[in-house]
Amino acid sequence: MAIDYERLKTRAFEEIEQTYTTRDTILYALGIGVGADPLNEDHVRFTFEEADGFAPLPTMHVVMAGPGFWVREPDSGVTWEQVLHGEQRLTIHNPLPPEGTLIGKTWIKDIVDKGPGKGALIYVARDVHDKATGTHISTSISTTFARADGGFGGPDGPTLPVHTLPDRAPDIVDEVPTLPQAALIYRLSGDSNPLHASPAVARGAGFHAPILHGLCSYGVAGWSVLRTCCGGDPTGLKQFDLRFSSPVFPGETLQTQIWVDGEIVSFRTTAVERQKVVLNNGYAKVAR
pLDDT per 10-residue tile (average), the chain, 288 residues: 90 96 97 93 95 97 94 90 92 97 97 96 98 98 95 94 97 97 94 90 92 96 97 96 96 98 98 98 95
Q: Judge whether 214 counts as a catalytic residue.
A: yes
**Which residue out of 24, 113, 174, 191 is catalytically annotated?**
191
Q: Taking the CB of residue 42, how many other CB atoms lie within 10 A of it?
A: 14
Question: What pLDDT, on a 0 to 100 scale, did the predictor assign at position 1?
Answer: 66
**Which residue out of 214, 219, 236, 282 is catalytically annotated?**
214
Q: Judge whether 172 counts as a catalytic residue.
A: no
Question: What pLDDT, on a 0 to 100 scale, did the predictor assign at position 135?
Answer: 98
**Which residue out of 92, 111, 122, 211 is catalytically annotated?**
211
Question: What pLDDT, on a 0 to 100 scale, did the predictor assign at position 84?
Answer: 85
For the chain, the domains span: 5-286
Burial string for 97-114 (b: 16+ CB within 10 Å, else e) reads bbebebbbebebebbbbb
pTM confidence score = 0.93
Domain 5-286 in CATH: superfamily? Hotdog Thioesterase (3.10.129.10)
**Which residue out of 85, 129, 196, 213 is catalytically annotated?**
196
d(CA 166, CA 145): 26
